[in-house]
Chain A
Amino acid sequence: MKAFRIFGRSIRDAVKSVIRNFSLSFASIMCTTITLLLVSVAIICAVNINNATKSIEDELSIVVYLDREVTEETIENIKADIESQKNVEEVEFKSKTEWKDEMSEYDDTFSTVLNYLDENPLSDSFIVKVVNVEKLSDTAEYIKSINGVDVVKYGEGMVDDVISAFDVVKKVVAIVVIALILVTAFLISNTIKLTIFSRRSAIEIMRLVGASNLTIKIPFIIEGFIIGVIGSIIPICVTIYGYVVLYSLLNGHVFSNMIVLLKPYNFVFYVSGVLLIIGAIVGMFGSLLAVRKYLKI
């Protein structure tokens, strides 16, 4: 009961204190708002880059051209062999006729040349999608060794470069997001320190009349929570509105159809939730750090 009473009074005191020390509370709230806006931009970029790299990676596949003389039976055997590989996700057969039709549609010159020939010069093929793109070249090497396989194409060197570049980008973005969150924590905790500095006499009196350290800390922690939550309102609104507008302005992709943006819903709500949690936790933690300084002798 006593703990509930102290907690109830702490909430009352925290709300009072945010209002009574409004100018300093306002400074802390604005500081939280600005840094959370940066965090929001970083999170949106990070998640979209991650998503784009993943969808590009998903597009990567191995094209297996078969010997021109293979029989139907051999084709089935080769397919079974490829499918038996652990790293193979999907095998799709594409006959030489399909290739011919596709190429004819693509270019008139091709169409004319191909029609001129009596026999279709193209080969039957498989399009193989893999589970793990990092093992793409190993899988391609294996397929090449199967009897009846003529040529295997998977973009060789280029694919390796793209994959390692994506890896670097992902790491850099993760570091930037973590660094921004740390900077936010530091800035908010410093601003809250100023607020608490102005109330050190109240803390001193609380200690002198026999308030336990926990009783003193709780109102400040709740105050930090309130500041963090209020400070995250504007970034949340900007995130939801800004991303929806940006998405429709860019028609859902950046530069080319290769880099597709994530659909706004429910993505913006997840980001908002993360901002709210960061604001609240950083506010509480910043307050706790600041008040601890005045609880030592």
Chain B
Amino acid sequence: MKFIELKNVNKVYKNGVTALADVSVSISKGEFVFVIGLTASGKSTFIKMLYREEKPTKGTVMVGGLNVGKLRNRKVFKLRRKIGIVFQDFKLLPKLTVYENVAFALECVGMKAKDIRPKVMNALERVGLKDKVRSFPGELSGGEQQRVCIARAIVNEPKLLICDEPTGNLDPKTSKEIMTVIDSINKDLGTTIIMATHDKDIVNRMKKRVLLIEHGILAGDYAKGSYKTNEGI
């Protein structure tokens, strides 16, 4: 079953730069896919298109049955509630505690307080931060902050988890730990995962499907375990 489908997607920015050209790809439910490419290759645009931070200039982007390109601004929340997003820079609210940061995602959608607590604790347990609920982001290490970001992304039990270079700011050991968490989410919960990354070690070690984007073109779509080169990253 096709969960994500891009058909002849083009993206040209207002300044005339073509970020994506005629990209067509489909991703099934429960898949784990890496999106790799050099800086300014268009992989960030690809990722942003999936959560409607960018709209395609041409072509269609379907995510979980929603035509993302045609989604109106005030309807974007319908898509965002179906997906979780993990960022390189974490995007945590510094004045909220770990618990509040994760609960924030559920409060925003109007969930009851008594339903929020078990869900938040569950998500924090999965990322191994149950004992840090009262800490503020500033008191945590980079790896821990990223775990909070992951907990916030999965607390709503999304069908799709989008990770935009989640290990970009972390050392190799912490990166490995984060990848273990993300992999377990894919295996245990069946969440579809799309992850943009620069980290060739991670890509080589995890042996997942790889989409290689070069100069805005989908230069390669490698099936699980078939990508084993350092080129293009």
Contacts and interface: CB of A to CB of B under 8 A. Distances in A.
A174 interface: no
A296 B73 contact: yes
Nearest to A3: B110
A206 B109 CA distance: 10
A205 interface: yes
A5 B112 contact: yes
Interface string B98-126: 00000011011110100000000000000
Describe A's contact surface by its main secondary structure: helix
Interface of B: 51-55, 73-74, 76-77, 80-81, 85, 91-93, 95, 104-105, 107-110, 112, 152, 156
A208 B110 contact: no
Contact of B74 (A5, A201, A202, A213): A213
Given A2-B110, A208-B51, A295-B73, A202 B105 contact: no
Contacts of A6: 110
A204 B76 CA distance: 12
A205 B104 contact: yes
A215 B73 contact: no
Nearest to B85: A208
Interface in A203-232: 204-213, 215
Nearest to B94: A201
B48 to A, nearest CB: 10
A209 B74 contact: no
A205 to B, nearest CB: 5
A205 B91 contact: yes
A215 B52 contact: no
Contacts of A68: none
Contact of B73 (A20, A209, A213): A213
Q: Which of B51, B55, B80, B156 has the most CB of A within 10 A?
A: B80
Contacts of A211: 77, 108-109
B219 to A, nearest CB: 28
Q: Give the secondary structure class of B's interface.
A: loop
21 contacts: A2-B110, A6-B110, A20-B95, A201-B93, A204-B91, A206-B108, A207-B80, A208-B85, A208-B91, A209-B108, A209-B152, A210-B109, A210-B156, A211-B109, A212-B74, A213-B73, A215-B77, A215-B108, A297-B52, A297-B73, A297-B76
A220 to B, nearest CB: 14
A201 B94 CA distance: 10
B41 to A, nearest CB: 22
A270 B152 CA distance: 50
A9 interface: yes
A202 B110 contact: no
Given A202-B93, A296-B73, A209 B55 contact: no
Contacts of B92: 205
A20 B94 CA distance: 12
A208 B84 CA distance: 8
Interface in A156-213: 201-202, 204-213
A3 B51 CA distance: 25
A215 B51 CA distance: 19
B93 A205 contact: yes
Contacts of B152: 209
Contacts of A208: 51, 80, 85, 91
Contacts of B91: 201, 204-205, 208
Given A20-B95, A202-B93, A207 B77 contact: yes
A149 B50 CA distance: 93
A213 B74 CA distance: 6
A202 B105 CA distance: 12
Contacts of B107: 9
Given A20-B95, A205-B104, A210 B73 contact: no
Query: Max chain A CB contacts within 10 Å: which of B51, B76, B112?
Result: B76
Contacts of A212: 74, 77
Contacts of B52: 297
Nearest to A209: B105
Contact of B104 (A3, A207, A209): A209
Q: Which of A3, A20, A205 has the most CB of B within 10 A?
A: A205
Given A20-B95, A201-B91, A207 B110 contact: no
